[in-house]
């Protein structure tokens, strides 16, 4: 091959490489921008409403004055006509122990005891999802961060004291789902003996329970 033809081929190759490099750079820049825009949108930087709950509760500390059950507590902050604020732990669901007309469910007392040990009379930090701060019962939805920085919502799932609630998306949905899989695999907490009848309706027939689980029925 003559030097001139070799030079032409090298020039074409370099142009092709530069073209592909520019396309890759643009694709990476667009992906990074999309991720930043998504984060900014979730944070409410594009005018999406932030309810009065946001400045009042988000990243603020409160004392837990009552633990209602495994996924609900009260903090010492007035809320409308109430002297305290009822907080529903975001992204988790624990067996019922105090719900009217509902039997005490499998592992509900252990779940309530766990949250009581972790939070009662302690100062916690609340973290809100800016897109949804209240549930249908007007309870505040929040991640509850314990004195040592522990996310108690996630801890409840990790230790098997409750379920990762799949009914509503939230910022840590994926993490909670993975934590539940690990808890099931290790047969932690309620997963050691949970039977199909013990599961909440949204999980019945959808989860493969640990093979060694023994029937326990609805009552603990």
Give 176's contacts (C-beta < 8 A, 6+ positions apart): 91, 92, 153, 154, 157, 164, 165
By annotation, the residues acting in catalysis are 88, 96, 139
Dihedral-angle region of residue 129 (phi above 0 means left; psi in -120 to 50 means alpha; beta otherwise): beta
- Chain centroid to CA 39: 16
Contact 154, 93 (CB under 8 A): no
Stated as kind and residue range, the H or E segment containing 4 is helix 3-42
């Amino acid at each position: 091959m003559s030097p001139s033809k070799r030079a032409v081929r090298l020039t074409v190759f370099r142009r092709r490489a530069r073209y592909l490099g520019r396309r890759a750079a643009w694709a990476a820049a667009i992906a990074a921008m999309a991720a930043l825009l998504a984060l900014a949108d979730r944070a409410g930087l594009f005018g999406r409403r932030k309810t009065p709950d946001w400045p009042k509760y988000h990243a603020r500390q409160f004392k837990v004055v009552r633990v209602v059950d495994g996924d609900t507590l009260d903090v010492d902050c007035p809320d409308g006509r109430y002297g305290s604020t009822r907080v529903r732990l975001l992204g988790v669901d624990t067996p019922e122990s105090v719900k009217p007309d509902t039997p005490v469910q499998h592992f509900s007392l252990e779940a309530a005891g766990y949250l009581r040990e972790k939070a009662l009379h302690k100062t916690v930090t609340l973290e809100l999802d800016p897109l949804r701060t209240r549930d249908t019962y007007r309870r505040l939805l929040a991640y509850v961060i314990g004195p040592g920085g522990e996310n108690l919502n996630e801890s409840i799932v990790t230790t098997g004291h409750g379920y990762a609630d799949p009914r509503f998306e939230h910022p840590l949905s994926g993490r909670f789902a993975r934590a539940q899989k690990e808890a099931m695999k290790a047969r932690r907490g309620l997963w050691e003996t949970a039977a199909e009848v013990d599961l909440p309706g949204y999980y019945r027939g959808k989860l493969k329970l640990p093979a060694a689980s023994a029937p326990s029925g609805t009552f603990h």
